Amino acid sequence: MATPRVALVTGASRGIGRGIALELARQGWHLGINYTSNEAAAKEALQLVKQAGGDGEIVQGDVANAAQRKHLVEFILQKFGRFDALVNNAGVAPNVRADLLDAGEESYDRVMEINLKGPYFLTQLAAKAMLELRKAGKQDRANIVFVTSVSAYTASVNRGEYCVAKAGLAMTVALFAARLANEGINVYEVRPGIIATDMTGPVKEKYDKLIDGGLTPIKRWGQPEDIGKAVAAVLRGDFPFSTGLVLDVDGGFHMRTL
């Protein structure tokens, strides 16, 4: 029987992260289900993962904290002995949607630390661990996925810090893809559109109207499993000759239509 592949999914207790974890579980992956504070949600996600055919462990850690990033990588290595994939999914919205001319530095720093700095340096640690495992002959190839957003290129003037962080994350994908291409590690960007999660709950009415009015050619909300299916496809190895690839999972939002 083949050794199960192992992935760390950050922010996997709820929303898009849970959707990703469940799709990987259906392919038999073993998962590090990362959460920051909601242990109950993480335990529930683990139970669902097991029901879907996978397995794993929950692991607490804030990607914005250097020591906790290190703990996440060490946890995966100690618990599973391999590290086939990192899925950088954890992210937050600004606490308050403030006009660009009024938004404060505290909100900017918080969003940047979690959404950009955290995955940047977590990927650095994970890539080094993956390379060591490959040199030791304990695993073959590895993959890294960044979950970004259409906000990487779409200006929302009442949440500028979020847009800037996601734009930076898109460049982070390109940087690591270029650096790791000859090291047996492919890097991918999955770019969600409007997805039904806790984060978008407060603006549901607004986006219901926009979707109804043709904002996206596919006239429905995206679901966490839509993102999960895209991540599962790249981690399954369906795109072996691609790196730095952007998968738009957005109902066609990225197209310009008349």
State the catalytic residues: 162
CA distance 125 to 32: 16
Q: What is the DSSP letter of 103?
A: -
DSSP β-ladder status, 142-147 and 6-9:
unpaired
Question: At residue 121, what is the residue type?
Answer: F
The two three-digit tokens of residue 226, written as one number: 């839509």
CA distance 24 to 201: 25
- Cα distances from 231 to residues 7, 19, 38, 49, 146, in angstroms, run 11, 10, 23, 15, 9
Phi and psi (nearest 5°) for 124?
A: -60, -50
For 58, the 3-state DSSP assignment is: strand
Handedness of CA 43, 49, 53, 57 (dihedral sign): negative
Number of residues written out for the chain: 258
